[in-house]
Amino acid sequence: MTGRFRRVVAALLIVCIGGIGAPLQVQAGIVSTDTVVAGAERERLTSLLERGDVSAQLRTLGVDPAMARDRVAALSDAEAAQLAAQLDGLPAGGSDFLTVALIVFLVLLLTDILGYTKIFPFTRPAATAK
């Protein structure tokens, strides 16, 4: 509860201080393209809060505050909403290259053994490849 409250306050402060997330093209009187595409009116305040929320989360994950602001500005409304709701649960692609190299080696070794590939000179296919 307190955490959530603090995040909302932080989000508000960020909005107030940085003026972030105020979509550049939102003008009085103009219906935005995002709205037309989505076919529904968006709560602009919600969107601002979400962007502030994402920015705060990026900073706790080690992103420089100035960078965090620019990164959030490049998100679409839908992406900002998704990250605000479930950033922790989303995959962050970034395997260590040694792990990747090892896994790829194991996969290729296995496909070699199964007869799908022939990369390593020392493998003998278990079955004849078609």
Binding-site member from 43, 92, 122, 124 for other proteins (CB under 8 A):
92
Residues contacting other proteins: total by CB under 8 A: 56
Binding-site member from 9, 16, 85, 90 for other proteins (CB under 8 A):
90
Residue with tokens 């935005």: 32
Binding-site member from 10, 34, 123, 125 for other proteins (CB under 8 A):
34
Answer whether 48's CB lies under 8 Å from 21's CB.
yes
Residue with tokens 């040694």: 98
Using CB under 8 A as the binding rule, whether residue 3 contacts other proteins is answered as no
H or E element: which one contains 119? none
Using CB under 8 A as the binding rule, whether residue 10 contacts other proteins is answered as no
Binding-site member from 94, 122, 124, 128 for other proteins (CB under 8 A):
94
CA of residue 102 relative to chain centroid, distance: 26
Using CB under 8 A as the binding rule, whether residue 67 contacts other proteins is answered as yes
Binding-site member from 1, 2, 27, 121 for other proteins (CB under 8 A):
27
- What is the biggest distance separating any 2 CA atoms in the chain, rounded to whole angstroms? 71
What are the distances in angstroms from CA 55 to CA 6, 33, 43?
13, 23, 19
Listed residue (71, 91, 82, 14) closest to 48, CA to CA: 14
Using CB under 8 A as the binding rule, whether residue 43 contacts other proteins is answered as no
Question: Would you tell me which residues interact with other proteins (CB under 8 A)?
Answer: 23-25, 27-37, 40-41, 58, 60-64, 67, 70-71, 73-76, 79, 82-83, 87, 90-104, 106-108, 110-111, 114, 116-117
